[in-house]
Amino acid sequence: MDLNFTPEEEAFRAEVRAFARSAMPPEIRETVERGEHVDRNHTIRWQKILHGKGWGAPSWPREWGGPGWDVVQQHIFDEEMALAGAPRQLPFGLRMVGPVLMKFGDEAQKRRFLPRIPSAEDWWCQGYSEPGAGSDLASLTTRAERKSDRYVVNGQKTWTTLAQHADWIFCLVRTDSSVKKQEGISFLLIDMKSKGVAVRPIELLDGSVEVNEVWLDNVEVPIEQRIGAENQGWTIAKYLLEHERTNIANIGINKRELERARRLARTKLRNGRPFAEDPLFAARLADVEIELMALEILNLRVLSEARARGAPGPMASMLKIRGSEIIQRIAELIVEMQGSSALVTRSDGRLAPEPAMYLNLRKTTIYGGSNEIQRGIIAKHVLEL
């Protein structure tokens, strides 16, 4: 298996890098490089810039407005954008419901929803987790009752990322309680402006609002907004989560944050000398760098196999575990170098970017299916236990 990039792929990397340098608004890049939250306006502005270039949906086929790149080109694009200080593109439309629509949606649904995602006309959020159904997602209780040509939905979703900005939410709902729990779930698309939808923000430890509760009180959803057949939702959910877990490796973001840790280690002092000159700290930094190099090799192996076979399979779980653990370790090193200044709040009552990032990244080993669940998948499908 050859894991080296071809000359054509290196030329593509140079093209992406040059575009990122020339097209990136400085204020957006500076916000990302400081480790601060990127607001809604910045996210939409950057998405529209990419869409204007024809790169708004890097993983999509040309048929639906994508560039038609293969998985290696997508990897190169993601890495170069992260290293250039670009904000993450919203995954909920591009990487989650978009691929679901392409595979399971009918033609009318595709024509209605897909073009509005890369153009940033629609902002999507994910309605999966509930207070009693997180990693055990099949235990969800949000109920959708069929009434003629529509469903009436009642229930609650929680930890819904950026729902306060969303135009639409894709939801797993229970449509049959008389069968095995995985077999009674359907996949609905719900307009966030529908009567009965209420969003209640959850303030995080750093004072920001990123996740929300979404309450659904007798929300009417037309039947044409169901994706796939009734009670096919679990099959769709598994397909979606496989896409989500592949992206959680975040090679480019890990590289960018590791470089930030290196810069801080050269300038931040402990006992009068830079952290980089402390042998124990330098060894920890080097250990993380080695782990990231190994993760990148694993990611390239997965990409090579995906190019040949079309799906990453359980290897996506390996990427999810290692990528999420490495970014947490980098954040720990960065916040350690801040010392007591990490405890100081700003004038607006929020934490500085470094401790805020550290706290925010504690969730990475939980979302997208907790790492404990991923280890179970690996044991079952890779080790054949």
Residues marked active site are found at 244
- How far is it, in rounded angstroms, from Cα 147 to Cα 47? 38
What are the C-alpha distances in Å from 331 to residues 35, 159, 164, 264? 10, 22, 27, 12
Which amino acid does the sequence have at 335?
A: V
Sign of the torsion angle spanned by Cα atoms 224, 228, 230, 235: negative
- How far is it, in rounded angstroms, from Cα 267 to Cα 274? 6
Residue 274 CA to its chain's centroid (Å): 34
Long-range pairs for 43-46 at CB < 8 Å and ≥24 separation? Answer: 43/87, 43/90, 44/120, 44/123, 46/86, 46/87, 46/89
Residue 124 pairs with which residues in a beta bridge?
Answer: 168
Which amino acid does the sequence have at 172?
A: L
DSSP run (H or E) holding 76? helix 71-83
CB contact at 8 A, 326 and 284: no
Q: Could you tell me if residue 157 is left (phi over 0), alpha (psi between -120 and 50 degrees) or otherwise beta?
A: beta
- How far is it, in rounded angstroms, from Cα 168 to Cα 102? 17
Query: What DSSP assignment string belongs to 297-323?
Result: HHHHHHHHHHHHHS--TTHHHHHHHHH
CB contact at 8 A, 121 and 83: no
Strands 168-174 and 185-191: antiparallel
CA-closest candidate to residue 144, choices 103, 185, 182, 198: 185
